[in-house]
Amino acid sequence: MTDPLAGARSFLFVPGHRPDRFAKAAASGCDLVVLDLEDAVGPDRKADAREHVRSWLDDGQRAVVRINAPGTPWSGDDLSAVAGRAAAVMVPKAEDRAVLDAIARRSGAALIPLIETALGVASAVEVCRADAVVRPAFGSIDLAAQLGVDPASHAALQHARSAVVLAAAAAGCGAPVDGVTTVLDADTVLRDDLAHAAELGFTGKLCIHPRQVPLVNDAFTPSAAEVRWAEEVLASATDGSVGVHDGRMVDRPVILRARAILARGTAR
Confidence (pLDDT) at 1: 43
Could you tell me the residue range of the domain that residue 260 belongs to?
224-266
Residue 49 pLDDT > 90: yes
Residues 39 and 73 in one domain: yes
CATH of the domain at 193: 3.20.20.60
Counted domains in the chain: 2
Q: What is the pLDDT of residues 126-165, one digit of tens each?
A: 999 999 999 999 999 999 999 999 999 999 999 999 999 9
Per-residue pLDDT, averaged over 239-266, amounts to 77
Residue 52 pLDDT > 80: yes
3 state SS for the chain: CCCHHHHCCEEEEEECCCHHHHHHHHCCCCCEEEEECCCCCCHHHHHHHHHHHHHHHHCCCCCEEECCCCCCCCHHHHHHHHCCCCCEEEECCCCCHHHHHHHHHHHCCEEEEEECCHHHHHCHHHHHCCCCECCCEECHHHHHHHHCCCCCCHHHHHHHHHHHHHHHHHHCCCCCEECCCCCCCCHHHHHHHHHHHHHHCCCEEEECCHHHHHHHHHHCCCCHHHHHHHHHHHHHCCCCCCEEECCEEECHHHHHHHHHHHHHHHCC
Q: Using 50, 70 and 90 to split pLDDT, how confident is the model at 240?
A: low
Residues 127 and 250 in one domain: no
Residues 116 and 171 in one domain: yes
Residue 2 pLDDT > 60: no
Residues 103 and 206 in one domain: yes
Residues 158 and 238 in one domain: no
Confidence (pLDDT) at 144: 98
Q: What is the pLDDT of residues 186-233, one digit of tens each?
A: 899 999 999 999 999 999 999 999 999 999 999 999 878 888 878 888
Per-residue pLDDT, averaged over 230-255, amounts to 77
Residues 147 and 254 in one domain: no
